[in-house]
Amino acid sequence: MKSPSSAPETAVSAAVTVLPGGPVRGQIRPPGSKSLTNRALICAAMAEGVSELSGALRSEDTSVMIDSLRQCGVGIDVSEGGRSLRVEGRTGWNRDGARRDLYVANSGTTIRFLAAALSAAGGRYHLRGVQRMHERPISDLVDALSSVQKGTIECLSPGGCPPVEIDSRGWNANPIRVAGNVSSQYLSGLMMAAPIALADVAEAAESRPGQVQIDVVGELVSRPYVEMTAAVIRSFGGRIRIEDVGAEGTKSATTEGVSTRVIVDGDGYRGITYEIEPDASAASYFWAAAAITGGEVTVLGLTPQAMQGDVGFCQVMEQMGCRYESGPHGMTISGRAKRGIDVDMNQISDTVQTLAVVALFADGPTRVRGVAHNRFKETDRIGDLACELRKLGATVQEHDDGLTIVPPVGGVQPAVLATYHDHRMAMSLSLAGLVAEGVRVLDPSCTGKTYPEFFADLETLIGRPHRWG
Ligand SMILES: O=C(O)C1=C[C@@H](OP(=O)(O)O)[C@@H](O)[C@H](O)C1
Ligand SMILES: C=C(OP(=O)(O)O)C(=O)O
């Protein structure tokens, strides 16, 4: 067994068992938001001037973004253990015009945001990742880009998946139509790319649009991330507005089938000083630790006004019977989550796995709706999640858009749980061990995608070591 001090933060261990004990009580500040770090990096990289980002996340998803931008000629200095990033805007951008081979591991934000930004900036790029990345769809974004981009862009794997090959001379057309039912990251990528297409960075562009209009056709999932994108764009000096089509006065012949319209103008990004919030999806594991054990956990640095929709997980815990309080410094969950609930998680889909584990300890079934798009993430987060919950003794029904979880009669059973290279599978499933004996979680180092120090931080919060191996 490794003690907390001997376990390196990215320990490569075959398995981890979180040991049962009393109620979890304490305060914790998770690392910076992945979503905000990768958005700020894109805007800063394409800005005029220098940006200073503080509170950034250091993890695989942000490292592949930093490495890719550096390969394109962007100067990025990393300090304070990865928390501070100094980004020299577009001065060195793609000077030699060579084809860049960019590796993005399994980071959806990186490949979707970069594909759009690089298409707008112009140049030749090959974007590739791990095997699972080559199974995650990107064709809705690539189709949207190919309709506005001079040059070529194509998906190289069957089913419209990466690698993506780009040979672009910038954008010259309008409006862009994009589907939003598989991932909101396509729209976010286009939104962040639009100011780049409007600015001088597009040296290769044969002509530049004066304004960019992006129309989302049909359903848009994970909406809070789109608001977050707009907020980050505005912070970096971009001008953007989002209209819900269908609202009074917005319907016309040009809005047929369109649910959301985004209009971007202005002349690009400006370098700024920017502070990144702690990661709200990561915070969900600590709130859940309180909810499962009947303890009390305050997550510092987050408020209900945070830019991340996943702070909404606290309201879900409240629905299940916890007490939820917020103050200027943090958000607190206390008491046990006793009630099973029926909940639409479309807007906070990264917390479905966390909720599923809390649901194992409730006194009735929990039905999760609205997350069909969870099948396209690091793994199939409906089918594979159901499989692991059943190993713990739950009765689980899979639906097209989610799942129903009936808690195990007689309590959660000991089990060895697979994690499918999915950081959220490892972080959420391990929490079952806070109450139940013998919950062994395989490949814990997969948390490195967004939270390399997760198990070390959890040990600190619960005040006892995990069993490794
Ligand atoms: O834009 C973002 O930063 C994200 C959007 C969400 O993806 P989808 O829009 O695919 O649901 C979320 O799951 C992901 O972790 C981060
Ligand atoms: C879905 C996720 O990541 P991404 O799509 O950015 O790879 C996630 O972090 O849960």
The fold of 15-31+279-468 is: UDP-n-acetylglucosamine1-carboxyvinyl-transferase; Chain (3.65.10)
pLDDT at residue 308 is higher than 90:
yes
pLDDT > 90? residue 33: yes
Number of neighbours of residue 379 by Cβ within 10 angstroms: 21
Task: Determine the pLDDT at residue 8.
Answer: 39
Give pLDDT, residue 204: 57
pLDDT value of residue 4: 35
Using the atom order of ligand 2, give the atom closest to the CA of residue 450.
Answer: 9
- Ligand 1 centre to CA of 346 (Å) is 11
Q: How confident is the model at residue 3 (pLDDT cuts 50, 70, 90)?
A: very low
Q: In the prediction, which pLDDT does 7 show?
A: 39
**CATH number for the domain running over 34-275:** 3.65.10.10
pLDDT exceeds cutoff 60 at 266: yes
With 60 as the cut, is the pLDDT of residue 1 above it? no
Least confident range of 73-77, 237-241, 249-253, 305-309: 249-253
Predicted local confidence at residue 10, as pLDDT = 46
Q: Does the pLDDT of residue 206 top 90, yes or no? A: no
pLDDT of 230 higher than 80: yes
* Angle, CA of 253, 258 and 264, to the nearest 5°: 100
381-421 pLDDT, tens digit per residue, is 999 999 999 999 999 999 999 999 999 999 999 999 999 99
Which range (178-187, 204-213, 267-276) has the least confidence?
Answer: 204-213
- Percentage of the residues of the chain whose pLDDT score is greater than 70: 94
What is the phi/psi pair of residue 240, to 5°?
A: -150, 145
Of the pLDDT bands very low, low, confident and very high (cuts 50, 70, 90), residue 281 is very high
Which tens digit of pLDDT belongs to each residue from 161-200?
999 999 999 998 789 999 999 999 999 999 999 999 998 7
Given pLDDT bands bounded at 50, 70 and 90, which one contains residue 11? low
| Residue with CA nearest ligand 1 atom 10 | 183
SS in 3 state form for 86-147?
A: EEECHHHCCCCCCCEEEECCCCHHHHHHHHHHHHHHCEEEEEECCCHHHHCCCHHHHHHHHC
The full set of domain ranges for the chain reads 15-31+279-468, 34-275
**Residue 435 pLDDT class (50, 70, 90 cuts):** very high
Domains 15-31+279-468 and 34-275 share a fold: yes
Give distance in angstroms: CA of 392 to centre of ligand 2: 25
pLDDT digits (tens, 9 = 90+) for 69-126: 999 999 999 999 999 999 999 876 777 889 999 999 999 999 999 999 999 999 999 9
441, exposed or middle or buried, with CB in 10 Å at 0-12, 13-18, 19+? Answer: buried
Active site residues: 350
pLDDT of residue 425: 98
> By alpha-carbon position, which residue is closest to atom 6 of ligand 2?
108
Give the residue-averaged pLDDT of 346-370.
98
> In this predicted model, what pLDDT tens digit does every residue of 317-347 receive, in sequence order?
999 999 999 999 999 999 999 999 999 999 9
Phi, psi at 374, each rounded to 5° = -70, -10
The encoded tokens of residue 330 equal 């943090």
pLDDT at residue number 54: 98
Mean residue pLDDT of the chain comes to 94
| DSSP 8-class letter at 82 | G
Ligand 2 centroid–CA 446 distance in Å is 13
| Ligand that lies nearest to the alpha carbon of residue 371, given by its number in the listed order | 1
> pLDDT tens for residues 247-260?
655 666 678 899 99
Instruction: Please give the number of the atom of ligand 1 that sits closest to the Cα of 39.
Output: 3
Residue nearest to atom 12 of ligand 1 (CA): 350
User: Which amino acid is present at 428?
Assistant: S
Which residues does the annotation place in the binding site for phosphoenolpyruvate?
Answer: 34, 108, 136, 185, 381, 424, 449
Share of the chain above pLDDT 90, in %: 89
Q: Which residues' Cβ are closer than 6 Å to ligand 2?
A: 106-109, 350, 377-378, 424, 450
- Residue 419 tokens, joined: 């994690």
